[in-house]
Each structure stands twice: as structure tokens, then as C-alpha cells.
Amino acid sequence: MNFALDDDQRMLKDSVERLVARDGGFEQRRLHMADGWSRTLWARYAEIGLLALPYPSTHGGLNGTAVDTLLVFETLARALPLEPLLPTMVIGAAALREASEEQLARWVPPIAAGELTLAWAHGEAGSRYRLHDVSCRARREGAGWVLDGDKPLVVHGDSADRLLVSARVSGERCDRDGIALFMLDANALGVARRGVRLHDGRRAADIVLEGVYVPASDVIGEPGKALPLIERIAQHAIAALAAEAVGLMQALLDTTVDYLKTRQQFGGPIGRFQALQHRAAEMLIALEQARSMALYAALMLDEPDDAERAKALSAVKVQIGQSARFIGQQAIQLHGGIGVTDEYVVGHWFKRLTVMESEFGDTDHHLAEFSR
């Protein structure tokens, strides 16, 4: 076990840092937001190999490790990327662990080249983070399947080329058995998408599927047996979110510390007041707890025991949620009025962390999962 970056990891981090410095400006991001996200930036991600990173090298990927993904998400975080990296890079790679050779050959090269984006269409109205709670239906028709149901709040769902959609081929709403995973063409007949904007600046779509035909070749894994894969996908997403959260919390702490050193009140910098010093110390403690758990997440993704792995990733999401809430709220508090303005970046980092809390299960959900 060695926590120091090796040369390849250092190079990866450097290339992401350069990209952020060149193209990741806060004002540039504001411009991209009008269009949803930036195709130019997306091409840069492809260019430096981020999109190919976690995919198998047998099909044009780079065989990146969980630590590589962690470095990318942690480093990119402070630029608040609007692009569909999580679904296309992390969730896609986790889902395609069970893809056929033919599917890998069809999908990985365009993903790596930046020509195919994905969205994760799993949660449903009332499912409240329970991964086995799926009502959307898939019935056999000829050589394929026909999908019916609602998938609300699919992040990046309005722009994605393909939707990773779960649907029930058998059983009742909360059965663990009977769920299938489809790589649905987002422009297929019967897919209705209504776009919404999120508080963190990203876009999502409420999606309605009505008699949507999916060829058998677009089913991932064995139909009806997809729940373990879906659980694994959620775990990979949590690990990436944890890394992103650490990057955001570091940015929040750095900016707050700068502010404490420079903001003058009562004839000197406000950082000389012990009440504020101790708050900053608490923020660092919360950050390092979160950082440790993000590393733990990267390690535990490879844990072969399903229950152990699930429990570990729940613990990670709990710690991230607790640290993020504390650091985000305190960063704004210590900045005073400027912290609540739209023009200042701190509030935007806070909003991203706030949205993240409800992605892939909130703190309470994972605390309950952990103590089961």
C-alpha cells in the first residue's frame, strides 16, 4: 500500500490540471451553461484520453484503474464541469463490464473518441434511492424488447446519445430478480425527453418511454439478472463522486483560508480570530476524513465480496455527505455576504455538493444501508 503518486498518475493529474487551467474558467463555464455543456471541452477530454480511461484496452480503452478515475474527478472538480463525464466515462465503463465483445467493439471506440455520450436512466418516481425499485416494463417482441415507463430526472438525459435504462422483464416492483439493463438509442421512436436545469448548472431530462423498441443486441448482460450490475454501477459512481467532492471541498477550504487571511475587519485580517481559526481547523479535519474515504472507495471497488463492497461504498457516501455539508456551509458562512452571491464561485461549489448529496443515495439512505 503506497499513497504516493507514481509517474503515470502524476502525468495524468498534470494533464487534467493543464486542461482546467486553459479551458476550465468560471466565466467560460457560464457561457457553456446556456447550451448545456461544451462540445469543445468534450473534444479536449477525448484528446487527452479521459473518455477512454476506464475502458478495456482490447477495444480502444486505456485500462485505467479506480485511482486514475479518482485523480481525474478530484482534479476536474473545481472547474465544475457541466459535461456528461460521470455517465459516459464511469457509469458506461462499469456497465460494459458485462457487455459482449460485439457490444464493446460497437460502443467503446466512439465513446473514447468523444462521439457517443451516455446518461443513467434508472431511478423512478418514489423509488427513493432503492436500486431494486423498478416499475418500468420491458416485454419481449420478436428478437427485441419493448419498453414502457417513466424515468424522471435523468442527468444529461436531454443531450445523451444513448440511455442506460433499467426495466423490469418479470416480477413485481421491488423484486430483486427480473430487472434488465438496456443501452437504448436516445432518439428511438417513443422516447420523449423534457429538459430541466439543475441547481448545479447541469441539465437533466424527465423521460417517458412509450412502446420503445430495443433490439436484443442492445441488452447488457442477462435480462432479469441486472441488479448486481446496477449495484456495482452505483458503487463506481459513488467512488467518482467521492473524488469529485474531495476536489470541491479542497477548493472551498483553499478559498476560505485565503479569505480569512485577506479580509480586513476591526483593523486586521479576520483569520486572527480564534472562533474562525477553529472553524477552519474543523473544515480541514472534515476534508481529510473525506479524502481518506475517497481513497478507501477506490480500494474497495475491487473487493470481491459483494456485501463488503456495498457496505464500504455506503460508508463512503455517508462520510462524503457529512463532510460536504459541513465544509460547504461553513465556507459560505466564513465568507459572509459575498458567499451567497451568484457572481462568486464559492456558492457554485456549494451547489454542486448540495446536488451531489441526492445522487446515488443520500447520507441517511446509506447510513441505513450500512447498519442493515
Partner 1 sequence: MHLERDPADAAFREEVRAFLRDALPPDMAQRNLRGFHPTKADMQAWTRILHARGWSAPHWPVEHGGTGWSPLRRHLFEEECFAAGAPPTCTAAFSLVAPVLQRFGTPEQQQRHLPAILRGDTFWGQGFSEPNAGSDLASLRTRALRDGEHYVVDGQKTWTTEGHYADWLFCLVRTDTTVAPQRGISFLLIDARSPGITIRPIISIDGAHSLNEVFFDGVRVPVENRVGDEGQGWTCAKFLLENERAFSAEVPRNKRMLARLKALAAAQGLAADPVFATRIAEIEVELAALEWLTLRALSEHGSDAAGAWPAGSLLHVLGSELQQKTGALLVEALGERGVIHYDASDADHAAGITADFLYRRAVTIYGGSNEIQRNLIARHLLGP
Rounded to a whole number of angstroms, the minimum distance from the CB of residue 113 to partner 1 is 28
Which of 174, 192, 285, 338 is the binder for partner 1 (CB under 8 A)? 285
| Cell numbers 474531495: residue | 246
CA-to-CA distance for 287 and 222, rounded, in angstroms? 41
Residue 65 C-beta: closest distance to partner 1, Å: 9
Indicate if the alpha-carbon torsion angle 86, 88, 90, 94 is positive or negative. Answer: positive
Q: Which is nearer to partner 1, 103 or 250 (CB)?
A: 250
How many residues touch partner 1 under the rule CB under 8 A: the total is 39
The nearer residue to partner 1, 147 or 260, going by C-beta atoms, is 260
Check residue 260 for interaction with partner 1 (CB under 8 A).
Answer: yes
Cα distance between residue 138 and residue 212, in whole Å: 9
State the DSSP code for 253.
H
Q: Taking each helix axis from N to C terminus, what angle separates 66-76 and 227-262, rounded to the nearest 10 degrees?
A: 40
- Shortest Cβ distance from residue 346 to partner 1 (Å)? 16
Q: Is 334 in the site for partner 1 (CB under 8 A)?
A: no
Copy the grid coordinates of residue 118: 451516455
Shortest Å distance, C-beta 233 to partner 1: 21
Binding partner 1 (rule: CB under 8 A), the pick from 7, 101, 102, 302 is 302
Reduced to 3 states (helix: H, G, I; strand: E, B; else coil), residue 169 is coil
Alpha-carbon distance values, 14 to 11, 89, 294 (Å): 5, 19, 20
User: Which one, 12 or 136, has the nearer CB to partner 1?
Assistant: 12
Q: How far is residue 202's CA from residue 24's CA, in Å, rounded to a whole number?
A: 15
**How near is the Cβ of 335 to partner 1 at its closest, in Å?**
15
Residue 11 interacts with partner 1 (CB under 8 A): yes or no:
no
Q: Is 284 in the site for partner 1 (CB under 8 A)?
A: yes
For the window 127-166, what string marks contact with partner 1 as x by the rule CB under 8 A?
Answer: ----------------------------------------
CB of 60 to partner 1, least distance (A): 25
Nearest 5°: phi and psi at 293? Answer: -75, -30
Select 166 or 256, whichever has its Cβ closest to partner 1: 256
- Give least dist CB 270 to partner 1, A: 10
Phi, psi of 167 (to 5 degrees): -155, 155
Establish if 368 lies at the interface with partner 1 (CB under 8 A).
yes
By CB under 8 A, the residues from 237 to 256 that bind partner 1 are: 253
From residue 359, give the alpha-carbon distance in Å to each of 23, 59, 93, 241, 366.
Answer: 26, 30, 18, 9, 11
Q: What does R_g of the chain's alpha carbons equal in angstroms?
A: 21
Burial 218-235, CB ≥16 within 10 A → b, else e: bbbbebbbbbebbbbbbb
Which span sits near partner 1 by CB under 8 A: 23-31, 115-123, 126-134, 280-288?
A: 280-288
Question: Which residues in this chain contact partner 1 in the complex, by CB under 8 A?
Answer: 1-6, 9, 67, 253, 257, 260-261, 271, 274, 277-278, 280-282, 284-285, 288-290, 292-293, 295-296, 298-299, 302, 312, 315, 318-319, 367-368, 370-371
